[in-house]
Amino acid sequence: MSWFIRKDKGIQTPTELKREAPDGLWYQCPSCKQVMHTREHKLNAYTCVHCNYHEKIGSDAYFSILFDDNQFTELDEKMMSADPLSFTDTKKYPDRVRATIGKTGLRDAVRTAHGPMEETEITIACMDFNFIGGSMGSVVGEKIARAIDYAIANRTPFLMISRSGGARMMEAGFSLMQMAKTSAKLARLSEAGLPYISLLTDPTTGGVTASYAMLGDFNIAEPGALIGFAGPRVIRETIGKDLPKGFQSAEFVLEHGFLDFIVDRKDLKDKVACLLKLIK
C-alpha cells in the first residue's frame, strides 16, 4: 500500500509563494498580445520587439533613454501648483494635487533637466501624463519657461517631449496664459540661435498642440501617436462627416506636412544627436 499512499507530506510551500514567476517578470504587449521579458522590453526602449508598439512612458524612462548613463541635473524639482481660483469639482484642487503627488511621486506634469547626450550638453523638458492627464497648468508653463532660460544662458539645445490632454481646467485662464508664455520664451530661444526639437508622443492634444508642441525647429513624433487639437468625436459632430482613416495619427499628420519625421523610440537618442550635429 505504501506504493500508492505517501507516508511523508513532502515539501510544504506557502500559498503566497506558489507563483510561476515573480511579478513584473513578463510583459504582454497590449497591441499584438505577444509576451516578452520585461528586461528585453526595457532594453528595446519600452517598445514591442514583435510589432513595435510604443508603450506609454514617463519622464523617468525618457531621461534614462536620452541622458548618457542616466546622468542629469533636474531643474526646479520642488515647484508645485497653487490654487489661485479656489477651484472645486468632485474634490478641492489642492486635495487633487496632493493625492496625485502621493500616487505618482511627481510634483507636476512636467520635469525639466540638463545633462549630456552623446557627450553634448542638452536641456530637456518631459511631460508626465500620469499627473492629471499631463495637463498644462501654471507650473508646467513656468518650468518650461525656466528650462528655456537655462538653455539660453548655457547655450544648449532644447528638447521638449510632449504628452498631454491640453490645458488644465482647474486653472482656467492661468492655464491658457502658459501658451503665450512658452511661445514667447521659444521665440527668444530662436533669437539666440539655439535649436529647439519638439517630440510629440501619444497623446498630444489641446492647448499643448496649439502652442509649444508644434513650434519646434524640428517637429518629430513617435509612431502611432495621437496628435490633434479637439478630439475626433467633436470634429465629426462639428463638420457632420466621417473622418478619414488614421485621422490625427502621427502618420496622418506627417503626410499632411505638420511633422518633419517620425522616429522609433529605440532610435530617438541617435537621431536627435545626429540632427544636432548636422545643424551645429
pLDDT digits (tens, 9 = 90+) for 68-119: 999 999 999 999 999 989 999 999 999 999 999 999 999 999 999 999 999 9
**Chain centre distance of CA 138:** 18
Position 231 scores a pLDDT of 85
Q: Is residue 26 part of a domain?
A: yes
Q: Which residues contact 97 (CB under 8 A, 6 or more apart)?
A: 80, 81, 132
Alpha carbons 121 and 273: distance in angstroms, whole number: 10
Position 4 scores a pLDDT of 55
Amino acid, single-letter form, for residue 81 = S
Instruction: Provide the pLDDT confidence category of residue 232 given band limits of 50, 70 and 90.
Output: confident
Alpha carbons 141 and 153: distance in angstroms, whole number: 18
Position 24 scores a pLDDT of 76
Q: Is residue 1 part of a domain?
A: no
- The sign of the dihedral angle between the CA atoms of 188, 189, 190, 192 is positive
Does the pLDDT at position 158 exceed 70?
yes
**Percentage of residues in the chain having pLDDT higher than 90:** 87
Q: pTM of the entire structure?
A: 0.89
- Regarding whether 107 and 176 lie in a shared domain, the answer is yes
Q: What pLDDT, in 10s, does the model give residues 15-28?
A: 444 444 445 799 99
Q: For residue 56, which phi and psi values (nearest 5 degrees)?
A: -75, 125
**148 and 110 Cβ atoms separated by less than 8 Å:** no
- Regarding whether 82 and 32 lie in a shared domain, the answer is no
Amino acid, single-letter form, for residue 89 = D
43's grid cell = 532594453
Q: Is residue 6 part of a domain?
A: no
Q: Which of 151, 83, 142, 73 is CA-nearest to residue 114?
A: 73
Q: How far apart are the first and last CA of the chain?
A: 85
- Regarding whether 137 and 24 lie in a shared domain, the answer is no
Range of the domain at 34: 11-55
**277 and 59 Cβ atoms separated by less than 8 Å:** no
- Regarding whether 70 and 38 lie in a shared domain, the answer is no
- Regarding whether 135 and 266 lie in a shared domain, the answer is yes
Q: Is residue 195 part of a domain?
A: yes
Q: What's the mean pLDDT in 31-39?
A: 95
Angle between helices 138-154 and 172-191 in degrees, nearest 10:
10
What CATH number is associated with residue 228?
3.90.226.10
Does the pLDDT at position 210 exceed 90?
yes
Alpha carbons 15 and 34: distance in angstroms, whole number: 28
**261 and 220 Cβ atoms separated by less than 8 Å:** yes
Does the pLDDT at position 2 exceed 60?
no
Q: Is 29 annotated as a binding residue?
A: yes
- Regarding whether 20 and 75 lie in a shared domain, the answer is no
Alpha carbons 126 and 37: distance in angstroms, whole number: 26
Position 15 scores a pLDDT of 46
- Regarding whether 95 and 155 lie in a shared domain, the answer is yes
Q: Is 48 annotated as a binding residue?
A: yes
199's grid cell = 517630440
Taking all residues of the chain, what is their mean pLDDT, rounded to a whole number?
A: 92
Alpha carbons 165 and 129: distance in angstroms, whole number: 8
Q: Comparing 60-64, 158-162, 202-206, 232-236, which segment has the lowest mean pLDDT?
A: 232-236
Q: What's the mean pLDDT in 22-42?
A: 90
- 173: three-class secondary structure by DSSP: helix
Alpha carbons 208 and 224: distance in angstroms, whole number: 18
Q: Are strands 110-117 and 73-75 parallel, antiparallel or unpaired?
A: antiparallel
- Regarding whether 64 and 50 lie in a shared domain, the answer is no
Alpha carbons 226 and 240: distance in angstroms, whole number: 21
